Amino acid sequence: MRLQHFDFIRGEIILFDEAFERNKRFKEFEGLIRTNHKVYESLDAKFDQQKIVHLNTLTNRLKNLSERMKSISEKHFTKDELDAFYLSERSTTDIVRKVELKQREIDDGRRD
């Protein structure tokens, strides 16, 4: 007796179907299809020009804020500056003056 192609892969198809149902893969596909429909609906939506300008302004403000935050988190003292800065040999006032001077240099650099 000759096996037909379908007879040969029938077992594989049954295993795939059972695993598909058991693992609830159909829910993932339904979610993808729903999301895809939402994307297409949003592409067809019309936006008020004033809202777009507001969003662009908000985006620019967020970019500026993130750049300021990034500059705050960067190292501002070089290794040489830190080495010249022995904490045990300096008073608190000397340290504060040095930091204020460095902060002024940084602020002047931003203004340029």
DSSP annotation of 46 reads: -
Is pLDDT above 90 for 62?
Answer: yes
Residue 39 clears pLDDT 70, i.e. is over it? yes
Same domain assignment for residues 40 and 68: no
- On whether both 12 and 38 belong to a single domain, the answer is yes
CA distances from 14 to 1, 2, 7, 20, 24 (A): 22, 21, 11, 10, 15
59 and 92, same domain (yes or no): no
Residue for token pair 């460095």: 102
Q: What is the Cα 8 distance to its own chain's centre?
A: 49
Whether 23 and 36 map to the same domain: the answer is: yes
Residue 74 CA to residue 76 CA, distance in Å, equals 6
Is the pLDDT at 60 greater than 70? The verdict is: yes
Question: Does 58 lie in the same domain as 32?
Answer: no
Q: Does pTM surpass 0.85?
A: no
Number of structural domains the chain divides into:
3
